[in-house]
Amino acid sequence: MTFDLTPEQDQLRDAVRALGRRYGHGYFVEKAKAGEHTTELWAEAGRLGYLGVNIPTEYGGGGGGITELAIVCEELAAAGCPLLLLVVSPAIAATVLARHGTEEQRKRHLPGLADGSAKIVFAITEPEAGSNFHRLGTVARRDGDDWLLNGRKCYISGVDEAGHVLVVARTEDSSTGRLKPALFLVPTDAAGLTRSKLDMEIVSPENQFLLYLDDVRVPADALVGESLDAGLPALFAGLNPERITVAAMGAGTGRYAIERASEYTATRKVWGGRSIGSHQGVAHPLAHAAVQVELARLMIQKAATRYDAGRDLEAGVAGNMAKYAAGEAAALAVDTAVQALGGAGMTTEYGVATLLGAVRAGRIAPVSREMILNFVAQHVLGQDKSY
């Protein structure tokens, strides 16, 4: 067992850290408050190959895995630039297509995802069903050689930045008559697909949307995979990378907040010229938060390693635990940093309160802490299902 990165992974971490710090949290907040996107950072990250580290080399990627993409997510967040679309486009969409898409779909979409020139977002959550794919109301029905999609989706990230949205719908199985999940690549300018922006209390350059699908017609090759049987494995193929990269982003955000607070508390001097960080009442909460973040990072590394080794069941357990741990640790770290900085912690200048909304959301999405505890209770502790 080793806790060391490979030399190539170390180089990736250093390079992404340098890129993130050249932009920094000030850039991130400025873009968010202006209602703009982090276009320049995304484009440069794509040009340098960081967005495609997990995409196979034959499609223009780096040939690595979720371990490498988690490094990218964490280091950009640790520089104050937590990019949610890293989770949505390279982690979910690219993984789904690489593992379960047709060869034509891989050739058409993966090169653009790898170099950052294209984005594909993900639509599973619905107003009534949440993310429970057993209860989804969005339905796809055959109409000749085409498919017609009808339904509603909510909290869909980055639709205004993407060329396609990966829609999770339910289709009728001709052999059983039952509905089962399938994934469709839907152009964001498709007729019948409309959207409305959700106003969120989160400082982020990436927007959330409601989507409405009213007889959205897509061709047969919009179905991900060779047949409807690809739907369920394709859906699950994206969920573990989602958990792991969200966790990595949370861990990076926690690191950023602790670093900002530590710099402040080590230099802020009152009461006889001693730094406020020399007082245990200030130092111990920061140290506690640092421990929690580091523990989360260990579980993220374990989850990513399991996933990249093809051990999906183990990766599912570790990924959920990593997401839980990182969500709690990030929220603790940012709140502790704000407290340590006092009034300065609530200013935009010091760059920690701007993350309060995002880390609080990290305890809810993409799966709530309570649902993770349900998962662990059932699958690790052997308890009866509670819902």
Query: Other C-beta atoms within 10 Å of 382: how many?
Result: 7
Position 305: which residue type? T
What integer pLDDT is reported at residue 176 of this predicted model?
62
C-alpha distances (whole Å) from 15 to each of 51, 66, 75, 351 are: 13, 17, 9, 23
What integer pLDDT is reported at residue 173 of this predicted model?
63
What integer pLDDT is reported at residue 271 of this predicted model?
80
How many Cα neighbours within 13 Å face the side chain of 287? 9
Residues of the chain with pLDDT below 70 are 173-178
What integer pLDDT is reported at residue 174 of this predicted model?
57
CA distance 296 to 266: 25
Largest CA distance in the chain: 81
| Category of 308 on φ-ψ map: left (φ > 0), alpha (ψ -120 to 50) or beta | alpha
CA distance 22 to 14: 13
Cα 275 to chain centroid distance, Å, stands at 37
**HEC sequence for the chain:** CCCCCCHHHHHHHHHHHHHHHHHHHHHHHHHHHCCCCCHHHHHHHHHCCCCCCCCCHHHCCCCCCHHHHHHHHHHHHHCCCCCHHHHHHHHHHHHHHHHHCCHHHHHHHHHHHHHCCCCEEEECCECCCECCHHHCCCEEEEECCEEEEEEEEEEEECHHHCCEEEEEEEEECCCCCCEEEEEEEEECCCCCEEEEEECCCCCCCCCEEEEEEEEEEECHHHECCCCHHHHHHHHHHHHHHHHHHHHHHHHHHHHHHHHHHHHHHHHCEECCCEEHHHCHHHHHHHHHHHHHHHHHHHHHHHHHHHHHCCCHHHHHHHHHHHHHHHHHHHHHHHHHHHHHHHHHHHCCCCCCHHHHHHHHHCCCCCCCHHHHHHHHHHHCCCCCCCC
Give CA angle at 240 (332, 187), nearest 5°.
Answer: 105
Given the DSSP bridges, would you call strands 269-270 and 164-172 parallel, antiparallel or unpaired?
A: unpaired
Q: What does the pLDDT look like over 142-194, one tens digit per residue? A: 999 999 999 999 999 999 999 999 999 999 765 565 678 999 999 999 999 99
CA distance 151 to 165: 14
Token pair of 355, please?
A: 């993350």
CA distance 274 to 185: 60
